[in-house]
Amino acid sequence: MNKCFCSMFFTFLTRRCVILTVILFSACFLYSIEVGGEITEDTTWTPENNPYIVIENIYVNEDVTLTLLPGTEIKVTGALLTCLDDFYDNFFLTGSSPDLAKCIKVDGRIIAEGTEQDSIIFTRTQDYFAYNWGSIYITHNADQCRFKHCLFEHAANTLITYSDISKGLNFENGNGIVRNCKFLNCAVGISSEAFTQNLEIIDNDFIITNYVNPYLLNFSRGRKHIETNYGLSQYVLVCNNTFEGYWSYNGIDCYQVSCVDNIFSHCNSSKGSGYYYRNEFTGGNYGLTDGEFLYIKKNSFIDCGRALYTWGDEGYYEISDNYFDESRVSIYFCDPNSFFVRNYLTNVGGGVAFYGAMSRITDNIINNCNTALSAYANDLFCNNIFINNSEVFSSLSDNCIIQNCILLNNDDLYQHNIYGAPIIRNCIMDFALPPECIDGGGNTLVDSLQVQSIFADIQNCNFHLTPGSIAIDAGFGAPVYYPFDLDNNKRIWDGDGNGSTVIDIGAYEYSAPAYGGIQGVTYNPANNEAVDFVLIKIDNQTGEFTFSDSLGWYEYKLPAGIYDVYAERIFYDDVIEYQIEVIDGQFTQLDILMYETVDVEEHTIPHSSFQISNLTNYPNPFNPSTEIRFQISDFTGIEEAEIIIFNLKGQQVRKFSNLPINKSQNHQIVWDGTDQSGKSVASSIYFSHLRINNKEIASGKMLLLK
C-alpha cells in the first residue's frame, strides 16, 4: 500500500448516504442492518433492528442528532491490529482507501442513554482478539453528547491527520457526559484534546483483561483509560469510577482533574495536576506521577511500588491525610513551600519510605519501613512518629530541625549522609544523640520498659497516647501547618489537666476534642435532587477543600471563626456563601444550592453566520464596574442586538438594548453594578447574555465582589 498521501486531513471523498438494508450478513448475524455514510437528519436506532453493522464510516452531520435507544447494539467493522504506531499497515486511517477499521464521526451529536437492564453496546464485528475498530470522534463543532449505560469494547484509534489521533471515545469538543458505562479492552477509553473541558466521567468501569490484544499493551500512542489535553482551562470531573489495568496500562492522564472516590487496580500510573481525593490505588508500578500542582488528600495507596513519583519541574504539592502501605513516596523536585502532613506510611521495604525536600513534614507516622525518610533541604520535621524502622534518616543537613518527634525501636537514626549539624529538640528517643547532631534541648531518653507506657498499644500499632504518657503536654512551640492532629482533633490541648495548653509530642493530641465545622448537602433547587461531587473550598484556598459525595453530602472540620465557602462544579454556576460562622465544637448546617448552567441538558450551541466570539468582561471579579466585550467579524443580517444580565436565580437585573452592532467589529458596554432602576446590586455571580434577532448567541459569567 502506498504510504505517501497528498493530504492527511480528514477527507470524505467517498461519502455516501446512510445504507439501511436488511440482509443475510453472515452465520453470526442472520438478520441485521448495514449502516454507513452520512446521517443528514435526526435519526433513532432501536433494538428491534439489532445489530447495526457499520460497514463504512458513519458521519453524523452538523445540527443532526443520532439517538440510540436502550438495548441497541452497534457492531463496527474492525481491522487486524498488530502495531498501532503504523496506521497505514493497519488501515486505521480515515479518508483513505481501504480504511478497514471503521469509525463514527460526529459533527452534530449522539445521545446514547441505555438503562441498567438494557445497555447500549458498541463492539467489533469480528470476534477475534487481534481485531479492533476505530473510534467515536466527536469533533470540535459538535454539541454536547451523552453516553449512559453503554458498553464500549475493543475500540482503538483513528488517524485524522498525521499528528491528530482520535482515541477511543474522543471528545474533541471537550464537552460531554459519560455515566454508568463500561470500557472493556479499549486502546484508550476516553480522550479529549480540547483546551476547555466540560467532561463529566462518573460511575464507569475501565477494564483491561489478560485476554486483550497484546499489541494494545505495547504501542506508544495510547495505553490510557482517560487522556485529556495538557493545557486545560477547567477541571475534568472523574469520580466513582473503577480502573483495572494489566500492570503496563495507565489509569488517567489529565492536566487538570478532580479525581474523587475512584478505585485504581494494577494500573501502571496515573498523572496530572489537580485534586485527588478519597481514591484507592492498589498494585501497579506507580500510583500518581508528575503534576504541576497536586492536592492529594484522604487517599489510600497499597502495594503500589511508588505511590507518588515526581521527577521534573518544581511542582507545588500538598499531601495530607493519606495512607501508604508498601508504597513509597518519591518527590524529587518540588516547590519548597510544599508540605507532607498527617500521613501514615507503613511496610515499605526497599528504598526510602518518603523522599522529598519539603518545608513542612509534620504529624506523620512512618512505621516498619526500611528507611523512614530522606530529605535535606530547609526541612522542619515536627510531631512525627518514626518507629520500628531499620533507619530513620538517610540524609540530614544543618538546615534540618527535628522537633516534638518520637523515635523508637529503630535500628539506627541514620546510616550515612549527615551534612552539617541538624538540630534535634523536644524529642523522645531510645538512643543517645549522635555527635553529628546538635542537642536543641528538651529531649527525653527512654528505655524499653518506658516505651511500653507511651502509647495505647504499641504492639498493635495504636500510637495514640496513653494516660500518664510522658509525651502529653511535653512539646515545644505551636503547630507548624494547621491546628489539627492526625485524628483531625485540636492540636494544642491541656492533656494533663494543669490548666496550661501545651502541644504534645508525636502525631496525636491526648484527650483533645473534635473541632466543629460545616456540613450539609449540595443540591439543585429546581428539582430538589442532590448534586454529586461538588468541590467545596474554604476562603477560596485551593488546599482547604473537600468534595460532596455521590449523595451530595459533605462535612469539613474547622476551628471557630467566620469563613467564606466556595462551591464549584462543571455544568453548574459557581456559588459563594459569605460570612459563615463556625462555633467551637459544633457543625454549622450549610446546604449549598447549585444552579444548572443555562441549557446544560441540551447544550445546543446556536450555529450563527454572525461569527461572534463568546462574551468576556474585564475586570473579573470587579467592583464597582466592568466592561462587557465581544467581537463580530460578520454582522450581515443583524437587525436587533441586546445584552441582558441575570442573577443566580435567573431573574433579569439589567438590559442593554439597541446595541449599535453594524458600526464596528469590536463591541463593549460598561455595567456599573446597578439594576434597571439604578440601585446597586449585591456581591454575587451574574450572567451576561447576548441576544441577536431575538435569539441567544453567547453568554458569560461575572463576579461582583464589594
Give the pLDDT score at 74.
97
Amino acid at 511: S
Listed range (221-230, 381-390, 600-609, 616-625) with the worst mean pLDDT: 600-609
Cβ neighbours around 638 below 10 Å, total: 18
DSSP 527: T
Please give the class, per CATH, of domain 516-593: mainly beta
Could you read off the pLDDT of 391-405 as tens digits, one per residue?
888 877 767 889 999
Distance CA 89, CA 239 (A): 38
3-state class of 469 per DSSP?
coil
Average predicted confidence (pLDDT) for the chain? 83
Q: What percent of the chain has pLDDT over 70?
A: 83
Could you read off the pLDDT of 497-534 as tens digits, one per residue?
999 999 999 999 999 999 999 999 999 988 889 999 99
Give the pLDDT score at 477.
82
Query: Is a pLDDT exceeding 90 seen at residue 253?
Result: no
Distance CA 528, CA 420 (A): 62
Give the pLDDT score at 576.
93
Query: The C-alpha cell of 463 is what?
Result: 500510637
Instruction: Compute the half-sphere exposure of residue 89: CA atoms within 13 Å on the CB side of its CA.
Output: 6
More confident residue, 390 or 658: 390
How large is the average pLDDT for residues 673-679? 91
Strand partners, 281: 264, 301
Distance CA 223, CA 245 (A): 9
How large is the average pLDDT for residues 587-599? 87
Q: pTM for this one?
A: 0.80
Query: The C-alpha cell of 695 is what?
Result: 435569539
Give the pLDDT score at 6.
32
Query: Is a pLDDT exceeding 70 seen at residue 185?
Result: yes
Domain residue ranges of the chain, discontinuous segments joined by + = 25-255, 516-593, 616-704
Distance CA 105, CA 126 (A): 21
Distance CA 262, CA 276 (A): 9
Query: Is a pLDDT exceeding 50 seen at residue 554?
Result: yes
Strand partners, 431: none
Query: Is a pLDDT exceeding 60 seen at residue 612?
Result: no
8 A C-beta contact, residue 76 and residue 122: yes
8 A C-beta contact, residue 60 and residue 109: yes
Does the fold of domain 616-704 match that of domain 516-593?
Answer: yes
How large is the average pLDDT for residues 71-87? 79
Task: Classify domain 616-704 at the CATH topology level.
Answer: Immunoglobulin-like (2.60.40)
Give the pLDDT score at 1.
35
Query: Is a pLDDT exceeding 50 seen at residue 607?
Result: no
What is the β-pairing status of strands 380-382 and 360-362? parallel
Give the pLDDT score at 20.
38
Query: Is a pLDDT exceeding 60 seen at residue 183?
Result: yes
DSSP 438: E
How large is the average pLDDT for residues 47-63? 94
Distance CA 550, CA 535 (A): 12
Amino acid at 38: E
Could you read off the pLDDT of 637-657 as tens digits, one per residue?
677 788 888 876 667 889 988
Query: Is a pLDDT exceeding 80 seen at residue 162?
Result: no
Give the pLDDT score at 379.
66
Measured CA angle at 316 (ends 314, 321), to 5 deg:
135
Residue with cell 435526526: 42
* Residue 191 CB partners (closer than 8 Å, separation 6+): 166, 167, 168, 169, 170, 171, 224, 226, 227, 228
Give the pLDDT score at 284.
79
* Residue 17 CB partners (closer than 8 Å, separation 6+): 37, 38, 40
Of 349, 341, 250, the residue nearest 297 (C-alpha): 341
Distance CA 170, CA 109 (A): 13
Distance CA 25, CA 63 (A): 32
Query: Is a pLDDT exceeding 70 seen at residue 678?
Result: yes
8 A C-beta contact, residue 445 and residue 347: no
Could you read off the pLDDT of 412-452 as tens digits, one per residue?
887 666 777 788 999 999 988 888 888 999 999 999 889 99
Strands (E), 610-693: 616-618, 626-631, 641-646, 652-656, 666-671, 684-692
* Residue 128 CB partners (closer than 8 Å, separation 6+): none
Name the band, by pLDDT with cuts 50, 70 and 90, for residue 201: very high
Give the pLDDT score at 13.
30
For the chain, state the CA radius of gyration. Answer: 29
Amino acid at 507: A
Name the band, by pLDDT with cuts 50, 70 and 90, for residue 147: very high
Could you read off the pLDDT of 449-476 as tens digits, one per residue?
899 999 999 999 999 999 999 999 999 8
In the chain the first and final C-alpha atoms are separated, in Å, by 67
Query: Is a pLDDT exceeding 60 seen at residue 684?
Result: yes
How large is the average pLDDT for residues 40-68? 94
Residue with cell 504539592: 317
